[in-house]
Amino acid sequence: MDEILLSIKDLRKHYGSKTVLNGVSLEVKRGEIIGYIGPNGAGKSTTIKILLGIESGYSGEVKIFGQDISTESMEYKRKIGYVPEIAELYDNLTGYEYLTFIGELYGLDSDFADFKAKRLMNLFGIGEVYHSRIASYSKGMRQKILIISSLLHNPEILFFDEPINGLDANSVMIFKEIMTQLAAQGKTIFYSSHIMDVVEKISSRIILLHDGKIAADGTFEELKDTNKEGSLEQIFNELTGFSEHKEIGERFVSVVGEM
Where does this chain bind ligand ATP (CB under 6 A)?
Answer: 15, 20, 38, 40-46, 85
Nearer to ligand ATP, 38 or 95 (CB): 38
Nearer to ligand ATP, 40 or 254 (CB): 40
Nearer to ligand ATP, 15 or 242 (CB): 15
Q: How far is the CB of 43 from ligand ATP (least distance, A)?
A: 4
Nearer to ligand ATP, 39 or 127 (CB): 39
Of 36, 11, 43, residue with least CA distance to 190: 36
Query: In whole angstroms, what is the distance from residue 140 CA to residue 129 CA?
Result: 13
Nearer to ligand ATP, 42 or 157 (CB): 42
Query: In whole angstroms, what is the distance from residue 167 CA to residue 46 CA?
Result: 24
Q: How far is the CB of 49 from ligand ATP (least distance, A)?
A: 8
Q: How far is the CB of 44 from ligand ATP (least distance, A)?
A: 4
Q: How far is the CB of 7 from ligand ATP (least distance, A)?
A: 20
Residues shown for the chain: 259
Which conformational region is residue 109 in: left (phi greater than 0), alpha (psi within -120 to 50 degrees), or beta?
Answer: beta
Which conformational region is residue 189 in: left (phi greater than 0), alpha (psi within -120 to 50 degrees), or beta?
Answer: beta
Q: How far is the CB of 136 from ligand ATP (least distance, A)?
A: 28
243-245-246 Cα angle (round to 5): 110
Q: How far is the CB of 229 from ligand ATP (least distance, A)?
A: 21
Nearer to ligand ATP, 60 or 125 (CB): 60
Query: In whole angstroms, what is the distance from residue 172 CA to residue 70 CA?
Result: 35
Report how far Cα 182 is from the mean position of its chain's Cα atoms.
14
Of 245, 151, 214, residue with least CA distance to 8: 214
* Residue type at position 11: L
